[in-house]
Amino acid sequence: MELFSSSMRKLWKEWNLRVSVLLSLALQIILITLGNRRKHNHKLWISIVVWCAYLSADVVATFALGISTNNVSEIYDKKCGSMDANTELPAFWAPFLLLHLGGPDTITAYALEDNELWLRHFLGLAIQTGMAIYIFITAWIGSHLSILYLLMFVAGLIKYGERTWVLRKASIKTIRESIVDVGISSSDLDLTGFGQDEGYTLFDAYRLVRIYFRPLFLNFKVPMLVTNITSTTLEHRFQIIEAALGFMYDNLYTKAPLLYTRRGLELRVITFFLTSSVSVLFPVVVIHDKHKFSNTDVTITFILLVGAIILELYSAVLVLSSDRFHVWLIEHGKLSSMKALECFRTQNRWSNNMSQFSLLSFIMKEKPLPCPNILKHLCLDKKLEKQRYAADMEIHNNLKTLIFLYLQEKAIAQRAQIPPRVDSIDVGHMGLNFTEELEKSILAWHVATDIRYELDEEDVKRHGHAFELHCGLICQISRYMFYLMVLHPNMISDGSMNQITLPSILLAARSLEFTSKIEACQRFNELLTISETYLYRRRLVQSEGENDNDNDIKIFLKNRLPKLLRTLSQQALEERWKIISWTWLEMFPYAAIKCRGIQHAQHLKNGGEFLTHVWFMASVLIGFTHEDFTPHPSADPISINLVMPLLKRPHLFDFPEEATNPQV
């Protein structure tokens, strides 16, 4: 019994190549329209669609080339080298598939790992170009269409070659080899002479990327930027960071390294001229032989030609509206042209998003998953549950202001060697050192911050709007860092926690039944006891021997975390939040600087992380290293006294109260 009838097989044989080339064109349209949007959009659906289109595009184009090769070989064998019109026109689609394999300008790599596979793409270039040449030779009959095939083949070969070259250029090995060629002079590091308008912001950002891109990417030590940290506004600083990270994204994930060079411009003119020429000449060929070709194949060819022209024109619009092109206009003094192109520009350079994850909300089971049994059988329940509890939040200027002012005044105080005031806070050592145990410190301080904010909520409100706003901002940082720890641990992992610690705490949290967050806070010691029991049982199942790491975690859960909670409870309200605020304002930039440059770059493809912006600001614009941050308030009396005076500047925090609500 045949699964498919002969008519179905005949229909598939007639339409398989047609469907494949049209699907390949559709995938290119998706990639060129969404490939660049992921730089400034944090939405999950865009990442999923781009991921599917990126993986499918090469497969579909290669599959279509294989079908075309098989078709011409079969007809060549059957008819002893005599090609007919029904074979000649489908063979003409092969160079369009090479064009598609070259990909759009907006995305050459989905992730950094794709750049490391440039040799695989080079091999694909050789094989698929050979297939296209085989089709050309086999289907050659000396007609006008054969000449057009040759023109499109050159355009497709250029596009595919561009992509392979750019992938190699963005590979880690190439970047590491080229870093020795980067010379940095004192004039390069001096940005004090530039203005603060849009054009000079882009120019400053571009110069920073030219200087710091390779060293930062590979975590090389970089020289300090020569600039007065009080000479530019907060808004200007973050605009520079946004533009600079945008340039970094372009260098790693798009054709920008080639596109904005003289050679790249020449190649782009050539491909556009060839594609346009074929688009003009093909209707002449069809009119001359209007009864020779199938109407369906002619229509599909017109669609491919129009699609190729539209993709080229859309790429040109994207180039003209890009930050890099505006830098070129500034360099050549064409400011009037820059203003004329403003209508094509988008002001979005990144997602401006900072996700939140609250352990208390997770404990309360406020967002149960739909169809939990089905998801559990598919082993997707835990991963999707974490995603469900990650709430997206737009970053408001008040949070940027708080972080920037703290780092700025910390730098001024350190460089001026200001002596500590006599009222420096003195608390006992809390048993946590985030410079040695970053992950454990994030977990402990997140728990402490969430619990204290819940228990102190009424007192915080009575203390005044500025104090309430300040505590809300600190909670946002706490929940963002915990979000990174739960969903992106590679950005902050230091090996201080093993793989089962965090899952054990989350699982233990779900075994308790709380009626409110207040009750959860008051019974948190019960949660720690259950977590400890879970770890003990897990160890017995895995191994009969003792495990030092497990014992360390038991000590952490049983002694160190409760000690931290007790120490904070013994402080007055203002002093307690002074300690909590100082800890997060120190730990946040420390974690940003300690995170590897490759990890920062990896997350640029999904809208970017606020941690990356803090990293760039602290390490480049202010000049901090991880050694400038201390793990305990008593060891840094200068910085801890910078926290509360920020509250005496209410004009800096003039945003609506609901904008800083830390509830998740």
Could you list the residue range(s) of the whole structural domain that residue 484 is in? Answer: 359-660
pLDDT, averaged across the chain: 79
Distances (CA, A) of 576 to 95, 353, 424, 582, 645: 68, 29, 13, 10, 15
pLDDT at residue 387 greater than cutoff 80: no
pLDDT of 109-135, one tens digit each?
999 999 999 999 999 999 999 999 998
Mean pLDDT of 330-340: 68
Domain presence at residue 248: no
Residues 199, 325: Cα–Cα separation, whole Å? 11
CA dist., res. 8 & res. 21, Å (int): 20
Number of domains in the chain: 2
- Which residues make Cβ contacts (< 8 Å) with residue 30, sequence separation at least 6? 49, 50, 53
Whether residue 542 is contained in a domain is answered as yes
pTM of the model: 0.86
Kindly state whether residue 242 falls inside one of the protein's structural domains: no
Whether residue 1 lies inside any domain: the answer is no
DSSP alpha helix (H) spans, 389-512: 397-416, 438-455, 457-462, 465-487, 501-510
Both 18 and 62 in a single domain?
yes
- The reply to whether 277 and 422 lie within a common domain is no
Whether 201 is in a domain gets the answer no
pLDDT in tens, 341-382: 666 666 678 889 999 988 877 776 655 655 665 556 556 555
| In the predicted structure, residue 440 carries a pLDDT above the cut 60 | yes
Both 438 and 384 in a single domain? yes
Q: Say whether both 405 and 274 belong to one domain.
A: no
Tell whether 453 and 559 lie within a shared domain. Answer: yes
- Residue predicted with more confidence, 22 or 81: 22
What's the pLDDT score for residue 544? 40
Q: Does 518 or 64 have the greater pLDDT score? A: 64
- At 55-69, the pLDDT tens digits run 999 999 999 999 998
Sign of CA dihedral 530, 536, 542, 548: positive
- Structural domain includes residue 347: no
Instruction: Check whether residue 286 and residue 418 sit in a common domain.
Output: no
Q: ∠ at Cα 459 (453, 463), nearest 5°? A: 110
d(CA 128, CA 126): 6
Share of the chain above pLDDT 90, in %: 32
Q: Which of helix, strand or coil describes residue 155?
A: helix
324 and 377 housed in the same domain:
no
Most confident residue range from 211-220, 226-235, 252-261: 252-261
In this structure, the answer to whether residues 364 and 327 fall within a common structural domain is no
Residue 151 CB contacts under 8 Å (≥ 6 apart), including other chains: 274, 277, 278
pLDDT tens for each residue of 578-596: 889 999 999 999 999 999 9
User: What's the pLDDT score for residue 504?
Assistant: 59
- The answer to whether position 508 is within a domain reads yes
Q: What share of the chain is helix, strand, coil (3-state, %, to 5)?
A: 70, 0, 25
Are the CB atoms for 524 and 359 separated by under 8 Å?
no
Regarding whether 557 and 629 lie in a shared domain, the answer is: yes
pLDDT tens, position by position, 66-116: 999 888 877 766 655 556 666 788 889 999 999 999 999 999 999 999 999
pLDDT digits (tens, 9 = 90+) for 25-45: 999 999 999 988 898 888 888
Structure-block tokens of residue 14: 């007639």
528-545 tens-digit pLDDT? 665 556 555 554 334 444
Question: Same structural domain for residues 366 and 514?
Answer: yes
Contacts of 252 (CB under 8 A, 6+ apart): 109, 112, 115, 170, 601, 604
Q: What is the pLDDT of residues 401-429, one digit of tens each?
A: 889 888 888 888 777 765 555 444 544 45
Residue 220 placed within a domain: no
Question: Is the same domain home to 408 and 325?
Answer: no
Q: Of 331, 351, 369, at which residue does a domain stop? A: 331
Residues paired with 49 in a beta bridge: none
Same domain, 407 and 540: yes
Q: Of residues 104 and 294, which shows the higher confidence score?
A: 104
